[in-house]
Structure 1
Amino acid sequence: MSKKEFILDQLAVCRNTDSWFKPLSKALEGLTAEQASWKPNKDSHSIAQIASHLFFYNERWLQRFRGQIINDYPETNASTFTELNNVTEENWIALAQHLDQSLEKWQQAIGQATEEALHKNIPEFPEEAVWWEALSNLCTHNAYHIGQMIYIRKMQGSWIIAEDWY
């Protein structure tokens, strides 16, 4: 399997293909704004905050992959877990759609990329790393947080999927 095929597989599994874990599409399926903004305690993140964090990093790395200059940097990693102000069904649905579209854009970008492009060093990165390695880590990051979303849904009682055997 080429690195391109590998990354495309990881992106599909994170976005909308059932595999060893449920994808983002299932993790967010039927989730209301109220459920998305629920926290098990004051020190935890909500699903909406996690979605915001994932959207931020997927978009940021996609810009970098496309060669776009990134001028604005987050103050801290914690600041990327932003709260939705006045959570409504409309702005929750918009955030969930933006995150899905971000992963779709990644699938398109990798589908159009050459195998050689994935073996190139990441320009202006503080340490030596090649694209396919960073993208594998990005997918692992997505999978980690998708798991958190599902765990939060299980805690709140909103995770009801009949074929959920994991």
Structure 2
Amino acid sequence: MSKKEFILDQLEVCRNVESWIQPLSVALENLSLESISWRQNDSTHTIGEIVYHLYFYNERWLRRFKGEIPTEVVESNASTFQEMENLTREDWQELVERLDENLANWQQAIKEVDESKLYEQIPNFPVDAIWWGALSNLCTHNAYHIGQILYIRKAQGSWVSKEE
């Protein structure tokens, strides 16, 4: 399997293909606004905050992959978990659609790129890193947060397993 095929497989599994993990498309099905905003305790994130965080980083890295160097300063990783106060159903659907579109754009960008780019150093990045490694980590990051979303849903009782 080439690095390109590997990254495409990871993106697919994170976005919408069931594998060892549930994809984001399944993890976000049938959520009420209450479930999206539910917080187990003061030190945990809501599903809405996690989805915004995923959108933020996937969008930022896609722009970088396409040659745009991010200019906005990220105060801290914690600041990327945007609170979802007064969230409407339309706001939520728009955020989920933007994240899914971004992940689809990632898949398209990887399909279209020459594999040699995946072995290139990431320009203007503060550490020595090549694209395929960073993208693999981005997918691992997505999978980690998908797991958190499922854990939250199980804790709140909004997850119905297909095996049950």
The alignment's TM-score, normalised by the length of structure 1, stands at 0.96
Structure 2: state its 5+ residue gaps: none
- Which aligned pairs between 1:116-131 and structure 2 lie closer than 5 A? 116-131=116-131
Indicate the residue corresponding to 2:94 in structure 1. 94
Contact 2:14 2:24 (8 Å CA) reproduced:
yes
CA distance in 2 between counterparts of 1:155 and 1:85 reads 21
CA distance in 1 between counterparts of 2:163 and 2:10 reads 21
Moved more, 149-158 or 29-38: 29-38
Identity of aligned residues (%): 59
Superposed CA RMSD in Å reads 1.0
Contact 1:34 1:87 (8 Å CA) reproduced:
no
CA distance in 2 between counterparts of 1:15 and 1:137 reads 15
- Which aligned pairs between 1:1-166 and structure 2 lie closer than 5 A? 1-163=1-163
Structure 1: state its 5+ residue gaps: none
CA distance in 2 between counterparts of 1:124 and 1:162 reads 45
The alignment's TM-score, normalised by the length of structure 2, stands at 0.97
State the AA in 2 paired with 1:147: G
The superposition leaves residues 46-69 of structure 1 with CA deviations (integer Å, 9 ceiling, x where unpaired) of 000000101000000000000013
CA distance in 1 between counterparts of 2:84 and 2:158 reads 20
CA distance in 1 between counterparts of 2:76 and 2:99 reads 20
CA distance in 1 between counterparts of 2:12 and 2:42 reads 33
CA distance in 1 between counterparts of 2:38 and 2:114 reads 42
Contact 1:16 1:25 (8 Å CA) reproduced:
yes
CA distance in 1 between counterparts of 2:4 and 2:117 reads 9
CA distance in 1 between counterparts of 2:163 and 2:117 reads 38
The DSSP-based 3-state class of the residue aligned with 1:121 is: coil
CA distance in 2 between counterparts of 1:162 and 1:138 reads 27
The superposition leaves residues 114-139 of structure 1 with CA deviations (integer Å, 9 ceiling, x where unpaired) of 11011100001111111000000000
The DSSP-based 3-state class of the residue aligned with 2:7 is: helix
State the AA in 2 paired with 1:3: K
Moved over 6 A (4+): none
State the AA in 2 paired with 1:16: N
The superposition leaves residues 33-54 of structure 1 with CA deviations (integer Å, 9 ceiling, x where unpaired) of 2211111112110000000101
The DSSP-based 3-state class of the residue aligned with 1:103 is: helix
